[in-house]
Amino acid sequence: MPMHMKKWWFSQIRNFEPIAGFQTRFTVNYKNEKYVHLWEVLEVVQQEKLKLDWQYANYPGKAYALFELENNPHGTLLTLTSDVLEFFPNHEAFSRNSVLKGWTTLLQKKLPNYINENS
């Protein structure tokens, strides 16, 4: 799983284990600033669900990302739920537009490209 995530999600991820309690950190550059992502795996149901606690070093705020997979007659449906539990700073990198753009790029471009190249 980690090698697959690096190819479509964040290439900066060095290590990832889908095990509740697993923690990792990695740095992403955005407009010449570095943001250290702090993740903790909160919940895993193999082939069904992955829930991550999502924070940034040196910034207040806390969110989670929940990925759910569901088989349907047309293939597999991926549902993403992301919710902010504690507000992040009023900064462009944490704005709703920036976050939506990031999720859209990951889920509508990078993931489909990865699937098409590897199926």
69 and 76 Cβ atoms separated by less than 8 Å: yes
User: What is d(CA 94, CA 60) in angstroms, rounded to the nearest whole number?
Assistant: 11
Q: How many angstroms separate the first and last alpha carbons of the chain?
A: 15
CATH fold group of domain 2-112: Alpha-D-Glucose-1,6-Bisphosphate; Chain A, domain 4 (3.30.530)
Nearest alpha-carbon partner for 87 in 73, 75, 99, 76: 99
Here the tokens at position 36 are 């250290």
Letter for the amino acid at 5?
M
| Chain centroid, CA 94 distance in Å | 14
Residue ranges of the chain with pLDDT lower than 70? 1-2
Whole-angstrom Cα Rg for the chain: 15
Record the tokens describing residue 104, joined without a space.
Answer: 């859209």
3-state secondary structure of 106: helix
Q: What is the pLDDT of residue 57?
A: 97
d(C-alpha 72, C-alpha 103), whole Å: 23
Query: What pLDDT is recorded for position 2?
Result: 58
